[in-house]
Amino acid sequence: MERLLNFIDGKWVEADGGRTFLSLNPADTREIIASAPHSSPDDVDRAVEAARQAFDSWRLVPAPKRGEIIFRAAEALTKEKSRLGELVTREMGKVLPEGLGDVQEAIDMAYYMAGEGRRLSGETVPSELPDKDCKSVRVPVGVFALITPWNFPVAIPAWKIFPALIAGNTVVFKPSQHTPACATELVKILVEAGLPKGVLNLVHGPGSDVGDSLATHPGVNGVSFTGSSSVGGKLAARCAIPGRVVTCEMGGKNAVIVMDDADLELAVKGIIWGGFGTAGQRCTAAARIIVHKGIYKDFINILIDAARSLKLGNGLEPGVDIGPLISDEQMKKVQHFVHLGRTEGATPALGGQRCVHGELGYGYFMEPTIFTDVRANMSIAREEIFGPFLSVMKAESLEDAIRVANGVDYGLVASIYTSNVNSSAVAERDIDTGIVYVNASTTGAEIQLPFGGEKRSGFGAKEAGGRGGALDTFTRWKVIYRDFSGKVQKAQIAD
């Protein structure tokens, strides 16, 4: 068992008071991955103060030089990909190919944001007056609190840390209490890449006290949060009062529309991956499957056969398709929705039980679960479950399917399977989500475009790259007018 520490002002330190908590392998809770410090408000104070002290010098480091540090981190992540991917699987539970993919996202983001050190582009425009120039530039916001979840324990921190640093901000990072070891390894790589002390600080602990203390700290200028919609909504409201920059990437209840002209085999493969990959523990997971009435019965038979073939187990074992849920709390939540589905009159077509036989009994394994005959007003069709759980509904037409897809409080991602280019065009236009896939699963966003949703799925600027992406969170615009005429010139006023 590894003993983890906080990282504050360039030093690895114990938490104030010496309290700790354990990180367990959710596939086998007999294995303790690490003990981590349970930080206090005093720890948060010290971390924020260190970040504030470092900001004045870090913001003056030329952005290309900041990019060189992040590039070195990308190179180190590439060399350590196998080791870190295995750690992701052990600590979070996703199967090893997904654990490696988690690290690859961090690598991609590091290289991308390292390149932004040579861009960070603003705008130069002509002035209406002679001997005068006009431009806008990006400048850092200040100290950022970055609060991340457990389901992508390397990728999501990288999505936040790298753009925050390349923009010239300093950071206090609070990872999920379920994945402290993954977070620690990422911080170690950045420190070894050459970050000055105080630029990146790490505090461990539960979100209910450490995260709240950090997000509302008066020394913090901005907050970037990924987690549940309920927590994110409250956080956004609290940050609005002092005018703090805040962005929240939250939940989803993502729909996949399958039309009667779709390639059913392709659609089922995509839905199996989108719904049961990461045991359904993705904000982009396929959750609502809206199927045209003409193919409804055939589709369900193919879907159930495909889901039955999936193998559950420890993600480090070859041939395993689905790993565990993250915790007993999450298991109870999924089982609660299984009960609700039955109570509300949906048909339990597959699964619905916790796996307790053999080695699976030592982890949090849930059978792939499918409910059919689901109505749009049922709880299992409206509320985020975050487990291997599909709700299948029938649609009369494309318009009806889009209406159902839009009829929830979330708006992160949706997908449509169709061979009709006109149907796909209508779906692209009318589906009310931040991301739309055509003939592809709901998972698999690429880092060079913004990532995020509408309604209860997101608040503030988007994550990742591209216009409207993470740099809009981690910078503010400054407009500069320089008059070199040597006289008073009055814009919009005639002489």
Q: Which position among 98, 105, 185, 249 bears the catalytic label?
A: 249
For residue 205, the 8-state DSSP code is: S
Q: Which position among 248, 283, 355, 367 bears the catalytic label?
A: 283
CA Rg value for the chain: 24
Q: Could you report how far apart the first and last alpha carbons of the chain are, in Å?
A: 77
Residues 6+ away with beta carbon under 8 Å from 487: none
Q: Is 226 left (phi over 0), alpha (psi -120 to 50) or beta?
A: beta
- Our CA dihedral for 59, 174, 163, 10, rounded to 10 degrees, sits at 40
Is 311 within 8 Å of 304 (Cβ atoms)?
no
Residue with tokens 């000055």: 196
CA dihedral over 264, 436, 224, 195, signed as positive or negative = positive
Give the count of alpha carbons within 13 A of 29, CB side only: 14
Residue 112 to residue 129: CA distance in whole angstroms: 38
Residue 361 to residue 475: CA distance in whole angstroms: 48
- Does 283 participate in catalysis according to the annotation? yes
Residue type, 345: G
**What string of DSSP letters covers 151-189?**
SSTTHHHHHHHHHHHHTT-EEEEE--TT-HHHHHHHHHH
Q: Which of 201, 104, 113 is nearest to 154 (CA)?
A: 104
Residues 6+ away with beta carbon under 8 Å from 418: 257, 259, 261, 262, 398, 424, 427, 438, 439
Residue 100 to residue 97: CA distance in whole angstroms: 5
Q: Give me 392's structure tokens.
A: 């299948």
**What string of DSSP letters covers 453-476?**
-EETTEESSPEESSTTSHHHHHEE
- β-partners of residue 234 are none
Residues 6+ away with beta carbon under 8 Å from 15: 6, 37, 38, 39, 40, 43, 203, 204, 205
Q: Give me 425's structure tokens.
A: 């065009």
**What string of DSSP letters covers 312-353?**
BS-TTSTT--B---S-HHHHHHHHHHHHHHHHTT-EEEE--S
Q: Give me 432's structure tokens.
A: 């009310």
- Tell me which residues are annotated as active site: 249, 283
